[in-house]
Structure 1
Amino acid sequence: MRIIGTAVIAGLSVLLPGAAPAQADQLDWHSCSTGPEDEVGTSLDAAGAQCAELQVPLNYSDPNGRKITLAIARRSATDTAHKQGTLVVNVGGPEASRQGVTWFLDKNPSLAAKYDLVGIDPRFFGRSTTLECGYPTNLYLQSVQYGSPTRADFRRSSAVARDLAGRCAPYKDLLPYTSTRNIARDLDVVRDQLGVRRLSYFGVSYGTYLGAVYMQLFPEHTDHFVLDSAHAPDNYGPNWTRETAQADAAALADWAGWAAQRNADYQLGATRAAVLATVDRIAAATRRGPVQVGTHQVTAAMLPGLLLTVDDTDASYAEFSAQVRVLRDAVAGLVVTPTASQEQRFQLYDLTDVIPEFSFSANTANQCADRTTSRDPETYYRDIQAHRATEPLYGPLARDINPCAFWPTSPAEQPTTIANSRPALILSASGDPALPYAGQLAMHRALRGSRMITLQNSYRHGVYGASPCVDTLTNHYLTTGQLPTQDPTC
């Protein structure tokens, strides 16, 4: 679809790479906690961080126009004799990310001590200027966690997507400026205000795409960049999940092999095929009608979302196995009690409250501002049907319609074309179920100066901290700036 209102950013000297020297630190730092219920702020204070606010343009093509506020956290380096610089940490989402400071500190205290650690709540998230369209929790989770295996399900999905889009219509003045490109521009303003010429960066999941966009827009302001579990360079936006169904199925098969080896504990099947057959029987039962699980009903539209995995640790697979056993027993007609985590999810599915801390509206708006998508609902249903044979379980979820199909505004700019030679280190799991490995390889090719560490035979999303081999190579890069000479495997 045609992109309307493309903005050309020019003449913003403070934002253009190399156009102006960095300022001295201009921020007014203070304690982070706003009260006893502010868990993020309290944890930042306990870690020795301070917080500040910064005004940035809503629209960078009108730098003297309306301003919005960014919330920033910083923990100064404590090992000043070996200080490496400033490391911005983005934990993904997109979501509030001031807690990136404590996330990285927990992962590696000794390395964290060598950096000024910075976390930023992106525009419209967390303590930054907010965008809240009034998304009820249950409706948003239906949009992102339910699929459309039947025509009736698709009609319901379309109605929910239209409803959510309509709730953001009163905020048309903000919606075009929620994009990743603008978040990257904000990051460079923060860099300037911190008084540093080059930023180092650690981004996870969505944070990898933000990091890559920043590298493209501001290549001369980048230092050590780590991208953990990378997005493909050209698909972040309304339909970023489209290619995930087969990766989700591969991760489910990996779990099935794990469960088969522990059949005495879970009794889901003695072989991988037998465990997957148990899942097939659960799916077949939900297609015949809702299955009673405690006080809740599981439908065919809900099931794929309940069967997603993102972590292949023993603890995660054990909990997942317990959940599948509950579903198996429910299908057999037994009275069952959901596991504690299942019950929590079911309660969220039923929750009609609007919870601003979840930032559902801002997350959706960010995707809709980054790329266009088809405005014809039938496009999505045809896509689901065309892939039913190869993606029977997860396809109706991965390819489902979303609010951007009915969004009240169009992107203000073309999406960023990522293609540069700046150095970066990409961390990947070969079986990542959330962001398939093929897309991560594509990001590696687009960032021609990058190296890529692959954690082999791993079906997880988020690699740092999961492997001593990966961590050692990553820490060496963050300490020395030296990338591996080749693409290592761990």
Structure 2
Amino acid sequence: MLPLAKSLTLVAAASGVVLGVMTPLSASAAPGAQALKWTKCEGSGLDPRQRCATVAVPMDYADPNGPKIEIAVSRIPGENPAARRGALLLVPGGPGGDSMNDPSEKGQRLPKEVREAYDLIGFAPRGMAPSTAVDCGLEHRDLARTTLLPWPAADGSVDANLAAGKRLADACARNGGELIRHISTLNEARDLDRVRVALGERKVSLWGVSYGTYVADAYLQLFPHRTDRVVLDSNDNPDPVLAERAWLAAFERGAEDNFPEFAKWASAPGNPDRLADTAAEVRPLFLELAARLDREPIPWPGANPEELNGNVLRQTMLDSFYDPDDYPALARLIRAARQGTLPAAPAGPPEAVLQNVTAVAAATICNDVDWPGDPALYRRDVARSRAAFPLTGGMPRNTMPCTAWPWEPREAPVHVTDRGPSNVLMVQNERDPATPLSGALKLREALGRRAVMVVNDSTGHDAYLGNGTACGDATVSRFLATGVRPARDTYCR
């Protein structure tokens, strides 16, 4: 791992995007391109320029002539044909996310020079509607956020988590169909290359966010010479043995990195949602409230589960840390719970969407890597985690449905190496709750000479054009527009 103090060089103020000569990389020339039929996209509020199509791909890449599935894609063409460089694939987080609307949404936050140079391409990964979709038909209780992320019982027991994981795995085996066995990170990367071919591009650029960095890593390993400019934003730990288990464990560090920022905000004079007079008081206040809610949950009609218990509070904390703009909602919930009253339960996604997202997430996590089956291992690790990291209550070391998953992984997990073109720019917030800097540095080390890393002195998830810095945004925009990266790893204040 690169020591942060030695490997990062201070970058001062943000600078403007520098334009350079654009060499088009579209290959009228990519053989085997499908004739895509671009039609109006479904949904409201989309940019009228956005169009959608589908790309046929093998369900099983070991049987390329067998059954096919469809991958839905969306596109807004580059705004200046004379400056066009190629296609920028917007690779979503998750697993269980899609980027179908991103060309109309986050893509429009890109600077003009980038929007002119690239067609902006979104997609729904295999299994995600409107691509060929999967659904496990789960019970309503098993769609609760605090069930899907395995929060232990108040006394640390994991028995209920083991039972819920078995229910989910059994339901996916019963209702998921053949496709659910073929949902994985490596297959998503292979699908992206079929999308590249269908678009008629010799190479593609990628902007992967969160779990999307892992998908982009897989593409970098499978198709290194099909990549143009690659931005990895909010980076996953690429551990080739633990894979998603390492990501779950990262919440321990992520919560600890972020809580002091919340505590400073929640104790600031003049803050209408102030919780305490000093930052030092906020942590014990939060932990005491969570413990009280473990013992005495407050009924919360309309929520799932229909109560505010300690784990729901802890999960709300983690969710709020993704974006500091959500601090007020967390503080108000804490204040209300301390008074024994609650606001109306927040509206969640439609159940059909949750069913789809959950099936894809479970399939990806469980098909990517083999999880240990011994409950004793999870009981031991949860107990240690609860003692060392009380904010996350043992959840990051707990069991998932993969413990009972009925199928073995079909191939080894992604193994990130330094072999391939040096065309990667990583951007990372120093205080990220879901993909902490400690894991990003592991990826930086694995990519070696292929990458340069920009670390933002910033808090929250989504570093580029989100919760990062003006300096970091300018650095990434300059790279996408011109290909110019910093000469070495940099630190942006």
Q: Structure 1 length normalisation: TM-score?
A: 0.86
Matched, 1:115 2:118: yes
Deviations 1:87-128 (A, max 9, x none): 100121122222232234321251223211111111111211
Quick one: structure 1 residues 299 and 447, their matched pair in 2 at CA, closer, same or farther if it must change by over 3 Å?
Answer: same
Instruction: Identify the residue that residue 126 of structure 1 maps to in structure 2.
Output: 129
Q: Which amino acid aligns with 1:191?
A: R
The separation in 2 between residues aligned to 1:312 and 1:168, in whole angstroms, is 29
Matched, 1:419 2:382: no
The separation in 2 between residues aligned to 1:238 and 1:259, in whole angstroms, is 32
Deviations 1:366-385 (A, max 9, x none): 11111110112222121101
- Which range is displaced more, 473-482 or 139-148? 139-148
**Which residue among 168, 173, 186 is the counterpart of 1:169?**
173
Matched, 1:190 2:198: no
In the alignment, is the contact (CA less than 8 A) between 1:132 and 1:356 conserved in 2?
no
- Secondary structure in 1 aligned to 2:307? strand
Instruction: Identify the residue that residue 14 of structure 1 maps to in structure 2.
Output: none
Q: Deviation at 1:433?
A: 0.8
The separation in 2 between residues aligned to 1:33 and 1:313, in whole angstroms, is 29
Alignment of 1:323-402 (within 5 A): 323-330=333-340, 336-338=341-343, 343-344=345-346, 353-355=351-353, 358-402=356-400
Instruction: Identify the residue that residue 77 of structure 1 maps to in structure 2.
Output: 78
The separation in 1 between residues aligned to 2:323 and 2:127, in whole angstroms, is 33
Deviations 1:348-407 (A, max 9, x none): 7xx9x4446752111110111111101122221211012222112304222222111111
The separation in 2 between residues aligned to 1:194 and 1:83, in whole angstroms, is 14
- Secondary structure in 1 aligned to 2:433? coil
- Secondary structure in 1 aligned to 2:346? helix
Matched, 1:273 2:277: no
Quick one: structure 1 residues 145 and 414, their matched pair in 2 at CA, closer, same or farther if it must change by over 3 Å?
Answer: closer
The separation in 1 between residues aligned to 2:290 and 2:472, in whole angstroms, is 37
**Which residue among 318, 321, 327 is the counterpart of 1:317?**
327
The separation in 1 between residues aligned to 2:322 and 2:90, in whole angstroms, is 24
Alignment of 1:67-106 (within 5 A): 67-94=68-95, 95-106=97-108
Quick one: structure 1 residues 88 and 355, their matched pair in 2 at CA, closer, same or farther if it must change by over 3 Å?
Answer: closer
- Which range is displaced more, 133-142 or 277-286? 133-142
- Which range is displaced more, 353-362 or 410-419? 353-362
Matched, 1:451 2:489: no
Matched, 1:139 2:142: yes
Quick one: structure 1 residues 313 and 60, their matched pair in 2 at CA, closer, same or farther if it must change by over 3 Å?
Answer: closer
In the alignment, is the contact (CA less than 8 A) between 2:85 and 2:117 conserved in 1?
yes
Quick one: structure 1 residues 354 and 192, their matched pair in 2 at CA, closer, same or farther if it must change by over 3 Å?
Answer: closer
Instruction: Identify the residue that residue 473 of structure 1 maps to in structure 2.
Output: 475
The separation in 2 between residues aligned to 1:300 and 1:424, in whole angstroms, is 41
The separation in 2 between residues aligned to 1:479 and 1:317, in whole angstroms, is 34
Quick one: structure 1 residues 205 and 264, their matched pair in 2 at CA, closer, same or farther if it must change by over 3 Å?
Answer: closer
The separation in 2 between residues aligned to 1:478 and 1:196, in whole angstroms, is 17
**Which residue among 183, 186, 193 is the counterpart of 1:181?**
186
Q: Deviation at 1:63?
A: 0.7
Quote the sequence identity (%).
Answer: 30
Matched, 1:243 2:250: yes
Deviations 1:307-342 (A, max 9, x none): 214557663222222222112222xxxxx232x5xx
Q: Which amino acid aligns with 2:298?
A: V
Q: Mind listing any 5+ residue stretches in structure 1 that lack a counterpart?
A: 1-20, 331-335
Alignment of 1:281-300 (within 5 A): 281-292=288-299, 296-300=306-310
Q: Which amino acid aligns with 2:125?
A: P
- Which range is displaced more, 127-136 or 356-365? 356-365
The separation in 2 between residues aligned to 1:307 and 1:489, in whole angstroms, is 27
- Which range is displaced more, 291-300 or 76-85? 291-300
Matched, 1:63 2:64: yes
Quick one: structure 1 residues 133 and 112, their matched pair in 2 at CA, closer, same or farther if it must change by over 3 Å?
Answer: same
The separation in 2 between residues aligned to 1:245 and 1:414, in whole angstroms, is 26
RMSD over aligned CA atoms reads 2.3
**Which residue among 3, 18, 30 is the counterpart of 1:22?**
30
Q: Which amino acid aligns with 1:417?
A: H
- Secondary structure in 1 aligned to 2:197? helix
Matched, 1:213 2:218: yes
Instruction: Identify the residue that residue 482 of structure 1 maps to in structure 2.
Output: 484
Quick one: structure 1 residues 29 and 270, their matched pair in 2 at CA, closer, same or farther if it must change by over 3 Å?
Answer: same
Query: Which aligned segments of 4 or more residues in structure 1 are displaced greater than 6 angstroms?
Result: none
Q: Mind listing any 5+ residue stretches in structure 2 that lack a counterpart?
A: 1-28
The separation in 2 between residues aligned to 1:250 and 1:428, in whole angstroms, is 14
The separation in 2 between residues aligned to 1:307 and 1:488, in whole angstroms, is 30
Quick one: structure 1 residues 486 and 390, their matched pair in 2 at CA, closer, same or farther if it must change by over 3 Å?
Answer: same
Q: Which amino acid aligns with 1:470?
A: G
Instruction: Identify the residue that residue 154 of structure 1 maps to in structure 2.
Output: 158
Q: Deviation at 1:237?
A: 2.5
The separation in 1 between residues aligned to 2:149 and 2:402, in whole angstroms, is 16
The separation in 1 between residues aligned to 2:102 and 2:266, in whole angstroms, is 34
Deviations 1:152-199 (A, max 9, x none): 752222211111111011346323310110111111111112111111
The separation in 2 between residues aligned to 1:67 and 1:278, in whole angstroms, is 54
In the alignment, is the contact (CA less than 8 A) between 2:233 and 2:463 conserved in 1?
yes
Matched, 1:203 2:208: yes
- Secondary structure in 2 aligned to 1:26? coil
Quick one: structure 1 residues 105 and 473, their matched pair in 2 at CA, closer, same or farther if it must change by over 3 Å?
Answer: same
Q: Which amino acid aligns with 1:68?
A: I
The separation in 2 between residues aligned to 1:216 and 1:29, in whole angstroms, is 30
Quick one: structure 1 residues 226 and 454, their matched pair in 2 at CA, closer, same or farther if it must change by over 3 Å?
Answer: same
Quick one: structure 1 residues 483 and 217, their matched pair in 2 at CA, closer, same or farther if it must change by over 3 Å?
Answer: same
The separation in 2 between residues aligned to 1:314 and 1:433, in whole angstroms, is 11
The separation in 2 between residues aligned to 1:426 and 1:137, in whole angstroms, is 39
- Secondary structure in 2 aligned to 1:420? coil
Q: Which amino acid aligns with 2:380?
A: R
In the alignment, is the contact (CA less than 8 A) between 2:143 and 2:355 conserved in 1?
no
Q: Which amino acid aligns with 2:74?
A: A
The separation in 2 between residues aligned to 1:238 and 1:136, in whole angstroms, is 24
Deviations 1:432-480 (A, max 9, x none): 1101111101111111210111111x22010111322111101110011
Q: Which amino acid aligns with 1:473?
A: T
Quick one: structure 1 residues 159 and 475, their matched pair in 2 at CA, closer, same or farther if it must change by over 3 Å?
Answer: same
Q: Report the number of matched residues.
A: 450
The separation in 2 between residues aligned to 1:67 and 1:262, in whole angstroms, is 60
- Which range is displaced more, 70-79 or 165-174? 165-174
- Secondary structure in 1 aligned to 2:69? strand
Q: Deviation at 1:202?
A: 0.5
Quick one: structure 1 residues 435 and 315, their matched pair in 2 at CA, closer, same or farther if it must change by over 3 Å?
Answer: closer
